[in-house]
Amino acid sequence: DASESRSSLSTLLDCLCGEVGIGETCEVEGRSLFGTAGAPSAAVSDGSWYYEVEVLEFGKVEANGSKNTNALQIGFGTDLFLPDQTTNDGVGDKEYSWSIDALRGFAFDQGKESKINVPNTKHGDIVGCRLQLQSKSERKGNITFWINGMEVSSMNFELKTVFTFFFAAVSLDCNLAVRVNLGQHGFKHFPEKHKAV
């Protein structure tokens, strides 16, 4: 039944902090200052995994053409990741999380921020996120990000915890909106030898 499959898609994502609207086909809309949504029910612990996020609403660009100042951080968190709306700490800003900001051009590695070169993000752009875990016991891995199939950032990590689950997460400002594709639809830019989250 089509209504059952639609309702099950919306249950893939949960609001982790702040206020976010979650649509029937995994749309996420920011409804407060820097809310975070994630998919802990689709967490993984080893292997290579991929998901995509389509930009639907991307906020205002200044009249002089300067970069967007809204935050749209897309990446991965672990079961130990604790976003905090009161301090504007979303995915990538806190320990046990990694992300890129597709609008402002930053990569975030467990709170460490670095500038990256990203194209001017617009409606319909696709941000791809790949997680590669070496093994359950070593907790080492790599996360790579693409925008429209072009690699924009890659980061290696090693965690001190013995056993951790990883899940897709998105943090976004008010009036921004995206659609998260965890594999429920065909991917636009799917790297070979990976599984959908």
How far apart CA 18 and CA 86 sit, in angstroms, is 8
Q: Are 133 and 97 in contact (CB under 8 A)?
A: no
Least confident of 1-5, 32-36, 149-153, 177-181: 1-5
State pLDDT tens for residues 113-126. Answer: 999 999 888 899 99
Higher pLDDT, 105 or 11: 105
Residue 11 has pLDDT above 80, yes or no: no
Instruction: Note the Cα 163 to chain centre separation in Å.
Output: 21
Instruction: Encode pLDDT of 147-159 as tens digits.
Output: 999 999 999 998 8
The segment with the largest mean pLDDT, out of 65-74, 113-122, 161-170, is 113-122
Average pLDDT, the chain: 86
Q: Is residue 192's pLDDT more than 90? A: no
Average pLDDT over every residue of 66-90: 88
| Exposure string for 96-132, b = 16+ CB within 10 A, e = fewer | bbbbbbbbbbbbbbbeeeeebebeebeeebbbbbbbb
pLDDT surpassing 70 at residue 164 = yes
Tell me the pLDDT tens digit for each residue of 130-144. Answer: 999 876 666 789 999
Q: Give residue-wise pLDDT tens across range 176-186.
A: 999 999 999 89
Answer yes or no: is pLDDT of 61 > 60.
no
